[in-house]
C-alpha cells in the first residue's frame, strides 16, 4: 500500500474538481485530483454547453477562459413552440445576459491542459473506494492523507457517503417521465434554445458547436436506449421540432436521462466538503448544473484561501435552491399540455415583469428570486 500526503485531496476531474485544483494550485496550495476514468474518456464526455456570464467571469479570473472566449459563441434568446405558435424571448435584451455556448468536454480539455502546463495533472484511472475519517482517501493500493477532502465526484460518486449516516440528509425528486438525450450533426448551427411543447411530449433543441446540436425528447419513465432506436428518435424529433431549420445529420449519441433531482446536505462536515453534482443534481432543463459546479469550486477556493469554510454550505445551498426552483418551474411549464400552457407562455414572453424575472433567473443575473416571479 502506497501512502501519500497532500493538503487538499480532490476526488473527480469534472468541471468542479478541475477548476478548484487550478485555483488552489495557482495560489501555492498542494493538491491532487484523483479521477476514476481515463483522460480520453473524461475529455470525450459531451454534456452541458451553456455557460452563464458569471461562470465565464469566474473562469476568466482564474486564467481559464482563453479558448472559450476565442471559440465560444454567444446567444441571448430562446423560443417556445406551442400549439402552432412560436413565442420568442430575447432574454438578454429583457434584463438578463447572453449565454456562452461552449461544450463541457472542450472546457474539461482546457482545464486538464492548464493543470498539466502547471505541472499538476490529475491522476487518471484511479477510482476512489472510500473516504475514511473525513481525511483519508482510499484507493486500490493507495492511501492519500489530506488536510481537506473535497468530493467533486459527481452524481454517482462515493464521497457523499462519507457524511455520517445520522447527519446526511438527501432530498430527492423523481419526475414521472424521462428524457431521451441526443447529440447529432446539424448542417446549420442551432441558433438558440428551442423548447417545444407538443401533444406527444416535450422536445428541446440546443446549440453546442456549429456542427453539433443537443436534442431532448420526453419519453416514458423507465424507457431504455433499446426503446429508442435511431429511426424512432429521428421520426419523433421530426414530429416535435422544426428540424428543417438545422438539417439533422448523423446521430452521435442517444441516451436516457433519468429525470430526477437530489440535494445532499450538509455540503460540509469538518474537513470533508462536497461540490458540484456530488452535492446537488438538477435536471438539465434550466442549464444550471455545470454553472453551479464551477460556482461551488470558485467559492470553495476563495473560502479555503481567504476566509475559512464557514458560510460555504449556507451560500451554496441558497444558490442551489434558487437554481432548482427555476429548473423545476421551467420543467413544469414544458410538460404541460400545449393548449393549457399557451396563455402562460404568452404572458411569460411578453415584455414585462414575468419576462424580466425569467430572463434574470435563466442567466443567473438575479441573485435573489425576483418579486414578480413568472408563473408556470
Ligand atoms: P462531473 O462532471 O460528473 O465530474 C465528476 C467526476 O468524478 C469522477 N468520479 C470519480 N473519480 C474517482 N473516484 C470515484 N469513486 C469517482 N466517482 C466519480 C467522474 O468520473 C467524473 O469525472 O461533476 P461536476 O464536476 O460536479 O460537474 C457537474 C456537471 O458535469 C453537470 O452538472 C452537468 O453536466 C449537468 N448538465 C448540464 N449542466 C448545465 O449547466 N447545462 C447543461 O446544458 C447541461 N446539460 C448535463 C447536461 C448533464 C448531462 N448528463 C449526462 C448528466 C446534459 C446531460 C446529458
Per-residue pLDDT of the chain (376 residues; tens, 9 = 90+): 899 999 999 999 999 999 999 999 999 999 999 999 999 999 999 999 999 999 999 999 999 999 999 999 999 999 999 999 999 999 999 988 999 999 999 999 999 999 999 999 999 999 999 999 889 999 999 999 999 999 999 999 999 999 999 999 999 999 999 999 999 999 999 889 999 999 999 999 999 999 999 999 999 999 999 999 999 999 999 999 999 999 999 999 999 999 999 999 999 999 999 999 999 999 999 999 999 999 999 999 999 999 789 999 999 999 999 999 999 999 999 999 999 999 999 999 999 999 999 999 999 987 654 444 555 5
Check if CATH label 3.40.50.2000 holds for domain 2-49+103-173+260-326: no
For a ligand 1 pocket test, name from 102, 157, 225 the mutation site with the most ligand atoms within 8 angstroms of its C-beta: 157
For a ligand 1 pocket test, name from 153, 261, 295 the mutation site with the most ligand atoms within 8 angstroms of its C-beta: 153
Task: Quote the pTM value.
Answer: 0.95
Give ligand 1 pocket residues (Cβ under 6 A).
11-17, 34-37, 42, 47-50, 104, 127-128, 152-154, 157-158, 181, 257, 276-277, 284, 287-291, 293
Alpha helices in the chain (DSSP H): 15-26, 39-44, 53-61, 66-71, 104-117, 230-240, 289-302, 312-334, 338-349, 353-362
Q: What are the distances in angstroms from CA 145 to CA 29, 130, 148?
A: 15, 12, 9
The CATH code of domain 176-257 reads: 3.30.9.10
Asked whether the CA dihedral 318, 319, 323, 329 is positive or negative, the reply is positive
Which ligand 1 atom is nearest residue 153's CA? Answer: 7
Q: Do β-strands 136-139 and 85-89 pair in parallel, antiparallel, or remain unpaired?
A: unpaired
In this structure, the residue with its CA closest to atom 42 of ligand 1 is: 48
Q: What is the DSSP letter of 303?
A: I
According to CATH, where is 3.30.9.10 located in the chain? 176-257
| SS3 at position 163 | coil
Ligand 1 centroid vs 366 CA: distance in angstroms? Answer: 24
Cβ–Cβ < 8 Å for 84, 197: no
According to CATH, where is 3.50.50.60 located in the chain? 2-49+103-173+260-326
Q: What are phi and psi of 49, to 5 degrees?
A: -160, -5
**269 contacts: CB under 8 Å, gap ≥ 6:** 134, 163, 164, 167
Amino acid at each position: 500500500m502506497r501512502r501519500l500526503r497532500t493538503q487538499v485531496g480532490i476526488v473527480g476531474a469534472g468541471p468542479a474538481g478541475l477548476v478548484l485544483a487550478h485555483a488552489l494550485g495557482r495560489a501555492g496550495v498542494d493538491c491532487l485530483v484523483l479521477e476514476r476514468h481515463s483522460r480520453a474518456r473524461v475529455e470525450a464526455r459531451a454534456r452541458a454547453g451553456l455557460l452563464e456570464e458569471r461562470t465565464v467571469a469566474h473562469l476568466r479570473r482564474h486564467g481559464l477562459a482563453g479558448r472559450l472566449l476565442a471559440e465560444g459563441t454567444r446567444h441571448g434568446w430562446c423560443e417556445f413552440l406551442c400549439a402552432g405558435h412560436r413565442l420568442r424571448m430575447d432574454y438578454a435584451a429583457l434584463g438578463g445576459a447572453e449565454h456562452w455556448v461552449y461544450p463541457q468536454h472542450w472546457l474539461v480539455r482546457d482545464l486538464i491542459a492548464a493543470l498539466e502546463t502547471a505541472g499538476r495533472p490529475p491522476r487518471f484511472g484511479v477510482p476512489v473506494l472510500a473516504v475514511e475519517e473525513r481525511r483519508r482517501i482510499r484507493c486500490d493500493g493507495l492511501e492519500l492523507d489530506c488536510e481537506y477532502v473535497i468530493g467533486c465526484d459527481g452524481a454517482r460518486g462515493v464521497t457523499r457517503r462519507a457524511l455520517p449516516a445520522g447527519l446526511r440528509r438527501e432530498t430527492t425528486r423523481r419526475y414521472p417521465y424521462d428524457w431521451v438525450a441526443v447529440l447529432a450533426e446539424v448542417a446549420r448551427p442551432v441558433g438558440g434554445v428551442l423548447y417545444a411543447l407538443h401533444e406527444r411530449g416535450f422536445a428541446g433543441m440546443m446549440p453546442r458547436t456549429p456542427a453539433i446540436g443537443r436534442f431532448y425528447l420526453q419519453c416514458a419513465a423507465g424507457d431504455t436506449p433499446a426503446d429508442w432506436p435511431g429511426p424512432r428518435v429521428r421520426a419523433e424529433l421530426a414530429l416535435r421540432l422544426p428540424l428543417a431549420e438545422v438539417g439533422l445529420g448523423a446521430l452521435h449519441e442517444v441516451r436516457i436521462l433519468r429525470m430526477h433531482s437530489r440535494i445532499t446536505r450538509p455540503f460540509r462536515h469538518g474537513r470533508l466538503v462536497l461540490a458540484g453534482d456530488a452535492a446537488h443534481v438538477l435536471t438539465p432543463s434550466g442549464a444550471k448544473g455545470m454553472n453551479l459546479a464551477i460556482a461551488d469550486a470558485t467559492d470553495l477556493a476563495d473560502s479555503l484561501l481567504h476566509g475559512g469554510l464557514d458560510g460555504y454550505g449556507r451560500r451554496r445551498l441558497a444558490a442551489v435552491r434558487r437554481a432548482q426552483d427555476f429548473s423545476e418551474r421551467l420543467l413544469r411549464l414544458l410538460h404541460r399540455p400545449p393548449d393549457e400552457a399557451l396563455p402562460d407562455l404568452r404572458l411569460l414572453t411578453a415584455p414585462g415583469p414575468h419576462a424580466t424575472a425569467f430572463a434574470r433567473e435563466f442567466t443567473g443575473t438575479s441573485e435573489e428570486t425576483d418579486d414578480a416571479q413568472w408563473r408556470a
